[in-house]
Structure 1
Amino acid sequence: MNQEELSRRVSTIVERGIAQGQIAGACVGVYQNQEELLCEAYGLADRESGRAMQTDALFRIFSMTKPVTAVATMMLWEQGVLELRDPVHWYIPSFRDKLVEQDGALVPAQEEITIQHLLNMTSGIPYPGWGSESLQQMSRFYDEISRRLDTDHPVDTQEFAARVGAEVPLLFQPGEKWYYGASADILGAVLERAADKPLDELYRELIFAPLGMTETDFWIPAENRSRLAQLYLWNDEKQALAVEPDPHMGMTDYRKKPAFFSGGAGLVSTLHDYAQFANMLAGKGVHKASGAHLMGEHTWRYLTTPQMTAAQKANIDWPQLTGYSYGNLMRVLENPIACRSNVPAGEFGWDGWTGPYFCVSPSDGTVLIYLIQACNGSNSDIVRRLRTAVFGVLS
């Protein structure tokens, strides 16, 4: 393996993306068998101020929070604190006897939502949207969350889950299909109830402290705020990136500890911190540097095994997930040929709306982490080129 060639390939791809205006800057890490092969920063963390990207930059990782939530769930499951077949209403009573949108009417759910439904995005719980009562009700609730952010009574994690359970009908019968929504946020509230502690404390105790992830949290202390990379969104009219202000999805601007700990999107992290988490996953639950053993190999195997039935998988229609299945809040590669990839089958990981992306290939212990702050940027050709280049040079 030629580290110099790896660095050259990654630099060429990322700097091309910067020159083309797709991103302002990025941090990239490549690891194999938990050994660092590449850890580099490129471009600008804040284009308007001219602040250079540094490898200790803080990123809104949005849905890369979900695998953290999945790991915490596996750990509590392994410890006997919860069971994956537990009905959600055991922890959030308003989820008992849910109603489901069906043929323009609301009908009773044929089965109760379980923790595994939340992990698999087969619960029927949506994100905000338009076109159905469920989507619109969720949109109205998120609008209320935003209005209450800076008041004395913001929506907290438990109110979020209780209100979704009481007010938002399901899009479909539990288990019927896959649909990307707020399941992980409900799961965060379930974990709080199961462990009897706030989600931030639970993550710190189970995952962050053992792995030495000292800068991953739901908010940023004042002394570190200057390291947060600026968030951008592509402006079609100007054909350029434009500053995208916080907050989004019911979260704060990270200046203060939030009331709502979003298990689906709430964390901020750094390249170094998230690499500890990803390398633990590459190590099948064991983190070599610290010696931390977060889960047994059998539990890890369950975490990283596809969970979809054929009917559920048929609804995974995102172009970037061609060739993938899904389970436990992560994609899992089943057919590299279908997605035109040289990455081995079994690769898993996830990404986020703000652009961050990671993948783990257990067959060769390879980890790729690409951190940016460009909304929807994880779907760009930069990610595809990086994957091909990295797995080509490391093969």
Structure 2
Amino acid sequence: MPTSSLLATTASPAAAGMSATALQRIDDHLQRRYLDSGRFAGTQVLVYRRGAIVHHQVAGFADLERRVPMKPDTLFRIYSMTKPLTSVAFMMLVEEGRVALDEPVAKYIPQWANLGVFQAGITAPFLTRPPVRPMQIVDLLRHTSGLTYGFQNRSNVDAAYRDKKIGEIEKSGTMQSMIDDLASIPLEFSPGEAWNYSVSTDVVGYLVEKISGQPFDQFLQQRIFDPLGMHDTGFHVPAAKAHRLAACYAADGKGGMTLQDDPTTSSFLEPPSFISGGGGLVSTAADYLVFCRALLNRGELGGVRLIAPKTLKLMTANHLPGGRDLTEMSRSMFSEATNAGVGFGLGFAVTMDPAKTLLPGSPGEYYWGGAASTAFWIDPAEELITIFMTQLLPSSQYPVRRELRTLVYSAITDSNL
């Protein structure tokens, strides 16, 4: 299904049980609070309900310095919104019987067989203890592996990641060098004992490559992007599309921003050495909506089935041990979800109890976001998808995601619940 035909699939808000007046508040809010104030250069919002796009906002600039306007086909660094795609790719292999969720990771990465858990030490070699149990593949998908991200700046293990440049936003090395480096660094905790946002999904991408026998980027291209017509999604921007890449900015801590990645010199203009399943993709709002539509439609779109309905149901269940939520299990200084009442599935955060989140929503909705403040969520109960695109690091700078949830849900006039 070509992206252009998807964008042509629109309906009036009233026909989809939503208020046009309330949806306009999204545009007004983003303009007033973020664009006019200079907090964001540009924004794009897609709201899809009951089979059609009911709202599409495109405002501001893709490149503020050159006064290039934001457009529907602007290309964005989606960073950790790569993770759901990687997770779906892995579950395709599970469906084919080529791997199982309860298998030890060391079966596929033998050099990790003796990974210990950090006990003490400032630099390597650290004092470690054996884990209570081996790391399983499910631990990678739900971030209970004991791995971490160096940018969290929380522990000596984080510092060891930074020393080896593991898990940085602009990644160096290769997937194999990451795996080799991680073999020399202890785990933060014994697998399954806690939740910690980490390079786990990069490891999932490595496993897709190792188990399938196909380069990870080619696997995504042939099994997801090409079949769904996601022609603007990939690990770099080809020369013919370079003019569509947005600039990326960093918040300056004073309510403004500075240029972080110039689109004319960006590393995303060249194929990377590190194919990051945790954060390497560039995409458009329209392409990402195609992927989300396939998930909302129980794993299939336009005759293309990615995964079976039961597999998707498994992925979007809460897999945190004991049915706990992120506030009970998280050790992260940073993640793309912080609310009580939210669990974690196999690649997504999952809302369990909307009342605990203090936000409108539905049990069973699932979502994630990216480092440059992009975000999406899928609400099967309300037949709803929302996608938000901008380019500002870090994603924790402003509460725009929480605000969007309130604005979008307040526009529903005919609820399915």
Q: Cα deviations across residues 254-311 of structure 1 (Å, max 9, x unaligned)?
A: 1111121101000000011000011111111111xx2211111111100100111246
Report the CA distance shift for 1:225/1:263 in structure 2 as closer, same or farther (over 3 A).
same
Which SS does the other structure have where 2:257 is aligned?
strand
Partner of 1:123: 145
CA distance in 2, matches of 1:90, 1:299: 23
Report the CA distance shift for 1:146/1:83 in structure 2 as closer, same or farther (over 3 A).
closer
Partner of 2:21: 5
Instruction: Write out aligned runs for 1:292-331 (5 A).
Output: 292-310=304-322, 313=326, 314-316=328-330, 320-331=338-349
Contact 1:33-1:283 within 8 A present in 2 as well = no
Contact 1:87-1:112 within 8 A present in 2 as well = yes
Whether 2:371 is the aligned partner of 1:353: answer yes
Q: TM-score, normalised by structure 2?
A: 0.86
CA distance in 2, matches of 1:239, 1:386: 19
Partner of 2:387: 369
Instruction: Write out aligned runs for 1:116-265 (5 A).
Output: 116-129=138-151, 130=153, 132-142=155-165, 155-164=173-182, 166-236=183-253, 238-245=254-261, 253-265=267-279
Which SS does the other structure have where 2:146 is aligned?
coil
Using the TM superposition, give the Cα deviation of residue 132 of structure 1 relative to its aligned residue in structure 2, in angstroms: 3.5
> What root-mean-square deviation, in Å, do the aligned CA atoms of Structure 1 and Structure 2 show?
2.3
Contact 2:192-2:321 within 8 A present in 1 as well = no
Contact 2:319-2:344 within 8 A present in 1 as well = yes
Q: Cα deviations across residues 152-205 of structure 1 (Å, max 9, x unaligned)?
A: xx62212212221x2111001111110111101111111100100111101112
CA distance in 2, matches of 1:272, 1:159: 34
Figure out how many residues of one structure are paired with residues of the other and give that number. 382
Partner of 2:80: 63
Q: TM-score, normalised by structure 1?
A: 0.91
Which SS does the other structure have where 2:164 is aligned?
helix
CA distance in 1, matches of 2:299, 2:274: 28
Q: Which moved more, 1:25-34 or 1:296-305?
A: 25-34
Q: Cα deviations across residues 214-255 of structure 1 (Å, max 9, x unaligned)?
A: 11100000111111111111112x5411111379xxxx7111
Percent of aligned positions that are identical: 31
Contact 2:91-2:311 within 8 A present in 1 as well = yes
Contact 2:150-2:166 within 8 A present in 1 as well = no
Using the TM superposition, give the Cα deviation of residue 27 of structure 1 relative to its aligned residue in structure 2, in angstroms: 1.0
Letter in 1 for 2:280: G
Contact 1:93-1:162 within 8 A present in 2 as well = no
Letter in 1 for 2:146: G
Q: Which moved more, 1:21-30 or 1:2-11?
A: 2-11
Gaps of 5+ in 2: 1-16, 122-126
Contact 1:13-1:386 within 8 A present in 2 as well = no
Gaps of 5+ in 1: none
